[in-house]
Structure 1
Amino acid sequence: MADNTEFNRLYWHSRRGMLELDVLLIPFLEEVYRDLPRADQLNYEKLLACEDADIWQWFMQRGQPDDPELQSIVNMIVKRVQPD
């Protein structure tokens, strides 16, 4: 029950004010998040605490977060939609 409650909390925090972010974050949460190591799950949660404008810039590769852990999760999400 607690796991489902936490997942639901993350789901609602993944819903942003921008549709462009929603279409990246929500599928990542639903399809990848549960299989990530705990450290990467925490990085995803840290990403959700960032401003939408910053996240969007990072996803569009117009900037990078200063935090290497945030950069790692951003890279995972971007690579998922833009495979090599």
Structure 2
Amino acid sequence: MSDDTTSAEIERKRLYWHSRRGMWELDLLLIPFLEQRYDHLSAEEQLAYRQLIDEEDQDLFTWLMRREWPGEPSLRHIVQMIVAHAENTDNAIYRTL
């Protein structure tokens, strides 16, 4: 790692690797959202995303497949944003799930 690597770049790489879950369905939802929307989120929404990716895969799957919503309002909001992003993307990934 070079000395010119900023803390923001390090954090972004960490988020990317933590967003890769090894479950195809989750990867197809989390990675595009991170790449396309994360930088435009408010500080509170970014915090919610960071909290979300610390959750268990089974919970993420249940929430992102809209079977249930998280009880925590900030997590519910970010999950709904991810779902809406997936539904509105040109490649319509969400329709294949």
Give the TM-score normalised by the residue count of structure 2.
Answer: 0.82
In 2, Cα distance between equivalents of 1:60 and 1:46: 18
Does residue 50 of the first structure (1) align with residue 55 of the second (2)?
A: yes
Q: Is the 8 A contact 1:14 1:25 kept in 2?
A: yes
Match of residue 40, structure 1, among 33, 42, 45: 45
Residue type of the alignment partner of 2:46: Q
Could you tell me which residue of structure 1 aligns to residue 94 of structure 2? none
| Structure 1: unaligned runs, 5 residues or longer | none
In 2, Cα distance between equivalents of 1:63 and 1:10: 24
Match of residue 67, structure 2, among 43, 62, 71: 62
Match of residue 14, structure 1, among 12, 19, 24: 19
Same amino acid, percent of matched pairs:
49
Structure 1: 4+ residue segments shifted above 2 A: none
Residue type of the alignment partner of 1:9: R
**Cα RMSD over matched residues?**
0.8
| Structure 2: unaligned runs, 5 residues or longer | 1-5, 89-97
